[in-house]
Amino acid sequence: MPTLFIIVPVRNEAATLPEILRRVVAAETPGYAKEIIVVDDGSTDASQNVLQELQPQYGLTLLSHEHNRGKGAAIRTGLARATGDAILVQDADLEYDPGDYPALLGALRPGVDAVYGVRTIKPFGKGYRLYVLGAKLVNGFLNLLFRTHLSDVYTCYKLIRPSALQKTRLQSNGFEIEAELTARLLQTGAVIREVPIHYYPRSFAEGKKIRAKDGLKALGTIIRCRLSKAA
């Protein structure tokens, strides 16, 4: 049976780890076995203790950074250990629903290299107006430079075949990894499909970490990728 590797980057998410990992383990992955790689990115709360307690129960592969290096660095650490037939990143908060795994996997048909889960983000409420505008700007800028029509470049849910990733050399350490990954896939001619997913955004007061500076880094990353080769 093919294997789906699920990479879970963690940075100070002790409060949500038990529930999100329970959901990941319980989620259906039709036609795929499941391997879960958790990368603790220098957490300073009780995340490491929670992971140590849950590891025997869920059979987790635990990796860690001694110091915080960023989400992109955590994803790249996980990718280095993911050797299955498909790879998916799962944020450690509760914004994304593992119940969407079957829809994502169902769209990973022959000839498709990646499937993106498209969110619906309402700009009003929880202080998201500038966040939504920034996400639309980054999305539009990438579409313009790479002549594509993707709907949600910054979605966490990117289900990717390892064969497509082998043609890329990712360098980003922060949230700009989302832009870099998409740009590099497009450069290699990867076929990307999109499916709608559920999304339950938390507020910045509740722990949302992305900031305006990350949007600027994303724009710079898109330009860098456009002017350089994928590998």
Confidence of residue 18 (pLDDT cuts 50, 70, 90): very high
pTM of the predicted protein model: 0.91
Residue 184's nearest CA partner among 168, 171, 164 is: 168
Q: How many angstroms separate the Cα of 4 from the Cα of each of 1, 41, 152, 157, 159?
A: 10, 22, 22, 13, 9
Is a pLDDT exceeding 70 seen at residue 117? Answer: yes
pLDDT at 135 over 90: no
Q: How confident is the model at residue 231 (pLDDT cuts 50, 70, 90)?
A: low
Structural tokens at position 141: 């800028």
Residue 212 has pLDDT above 70, yes or no: no
pLDDT value at residue 121: 63
24's tokens: 């990941």
pLDDT at 133 over 90: no
Q: What is the pLDDT of residue 134?
A: 76
Digit-coded pLDDT (tens) for 75-97: 999 999 998 899 999 999 999 99
Residue 4 to residue 6: CA distance in whole angstroms: 6
Other C-beta atoms within 10 Å of 95: how many? Answer: 17
What whole-number distance in Å separates Cα of residue 120 and Cα of residue 25?
Answer: 25
Domain definitions of the chain by residue range:
3-226
Collapsing DSSP to helix, strand or coil, 34 comes out as strand
pLDDT for 213 equals 74
Computed over every residue of the chain, the mean pLDDT equals 90
Query: What is the dihedral sign for C-alpha 209, 134, 161, 97?
Result: positive
102: confidence class by pLDDT, cuts 50, 70, 90: very high
Stretch 189-203: mean pLDDT: 90
Domain 3-226 - what CATH class? alpha beta
* Closest residue by Cα to residue 146 from 187, 115, 174, 201: 187
